[in-house]
Amino acid sequence: MQHSSKFFRICTVIMLCTGVVSCGKNNVTSDEDTPILTEKNIKNLIPSRVHDRASWAKDIYSIMDTLTIEKTKTNVCSVIAIVDQESNFVANPQVPHLGDKAVKEVNSRLEEKFSDKLGERFGEPVAKYFLNVLKTQPSADNSYLAQMKKVKTEQDLDLLYRQIFDYMTKHYHVSAITGAAKLIGQDIGERMNPITTLGSMQVLINYAQDHQRNHANIYELRDDLYTQYGGLYYGIHRLMLYKAGYAKPIYRFADYNSGMYSSRNASFQQALSKLTKIKLSLDGDLLLYDKNENIQSERSQSELAINRLFADHAVKISAKQVRSDLKQEKQLDFEKTQTYNEVRALYQQQFGRALAYAIMPEVVISGPKLSQDYNTNWYASKVNSRYLSCMQRVRSNR
């Protein structure tokens, strides 16, 4: 499974208006959640250690209003749990030893990263020039590399990278040195910027671009994500504004880490594996994607397993239709496709029980920013623990 990564971190067909399901409005509420929380209620649910809880509560309340998300205890506690996990309610948090980690990453993986983005032909020469700029500019006694060692926050590092790529754009004549005329006119700085998830809720910049709340250029959008309101806005949007039939919030928390509907899709993969006896990765990705999240033409193991399953059972769904159906895997409507429903029917027939709507995806979280590798289950469980603590505060504040 391939994901867009940051430099240092990496309903069933018939929708029931019960459980953690959206019913008309944008929410993940349940029947018992009918009381709507006030701004003061929200403040009291934010951990007491948080600085300026009133300000955070005001923004959460306002954003949920703007996005028409019901301010139920389940919805509000879900938001609070993610913010607390990602940043402990700090709009632009400091990252321990960030400067040292940034320099280490540059020294160990620079050429690889440029080749991934620009291809091997152009990646190597551009990487060499980039490293030279780091060591010698803007001055020998205050190089970008020396400045990098001193950064404390992601925004510090983001702004530094912007300066570096701005320098390169002005001084590095790509076409003359490498013949890469096709790169002229592109925003190479944004394309190469390794800071791809930002703010207090760690939202992908590509997601924010697709759901902008105002007309801003890319730098203005990045700056907005580092603000308290901007980070909350895009994070709440990403967490809450999609419908899914999850019976427990923990699966939505897992999706926040590994991708929309990855918990549902992982269950689908598990069913495929049991039906075909083919070992499949339960990562929630039914197709293959490149690092920019574009679908690749090569068939995934899950897609191959589906085609084999249908052939073995004389199911009249073509490989072309399977591919078309799988392209909806990041949407609720995947549950309406022939492929999803045929696999579900075969599973029911063979095992005598319904296909589970969701399971925990098996996705590894790694990167220099982390002290060790973790997985989505670890992440979702940590968030869920914070969620349950918030729900306990609801009961305590009655």
CB atoms near residue 330 (< 10 Å): 18
Kind and range of the H or E element at 82?
A: helix 73-87
Handedness of CA 207, 213, 216, 219 (dihedral sign): negative
Check if the beta carbon of residue 271 is closer than 8 Å to that of residue 344. Answer: yes
Query: Both tokens of residue 329?
Result: 């895997």
User: How far, CA to CA in Å, does 305 sit from each of 109, 317, 318?
Assistant: 35, 13, 13
User: How far, CA to CA in Å, does 91 sit from each of 68, 87, 271?
Assistant: 23, 7, 41
Give the integer Cα–Cα distance in Å for 68 and 72. Answer: 12
Give the integer Cα–Cα distance in Å for 3 and 14. Answer: 30
Find residue 153's DSSP bridge partners.
94
What does the pLDDT read at residue 152?
Answer: 95
Q: Structure pTM?
A: 0.87
Q: Which residues of 66-81 are buried (b: 16+ CB within 10 A; e: fewer)?
A: ebebbbbbbbbbbbbb
Find residue 365's DSSP bridge partners.
374
Query: Mean pLDDT for each consecutive 10-residue tract of the chain (398 residues)?
Result: 37 31 46 78 97 97 98 98 97 93 90 84 85 94 96 96 89 54 59 91 95 94 98 98 97 97 98 98 95 89 98 98 98 98 98 98 75 85 98 89
Task: Look at residues 86, 87, 84, 68 and name the one whose alpha carbon lies nearest to residue 28.
Answer: 68
Give the integer Cα–Cα distance in Å for 200 and 119. Answer: 33
Query: Both tokens of residue 49?
Result: 């250690």
Q: Which residues of 3-32 are buried (b: 16+ CB within 10 A; e: fewer)?
A: bbbbbbbbbbeeeeeebbbbeeebbbbbee
What does the pLDDT read at residue 372?
Answer: 62
What does the pLDDT read at residue 370?
Answer: 59
**pLDDT, tens digit, 9 for 90 and up, residues 219-270:** 999 999 999 999 999 999 999 999 999 999 999 999 999 999 999 999 999 9
Overall size of the chain counted in residues: 398
Using only the alpha carbons of the chain, give its radius of gyration: 23
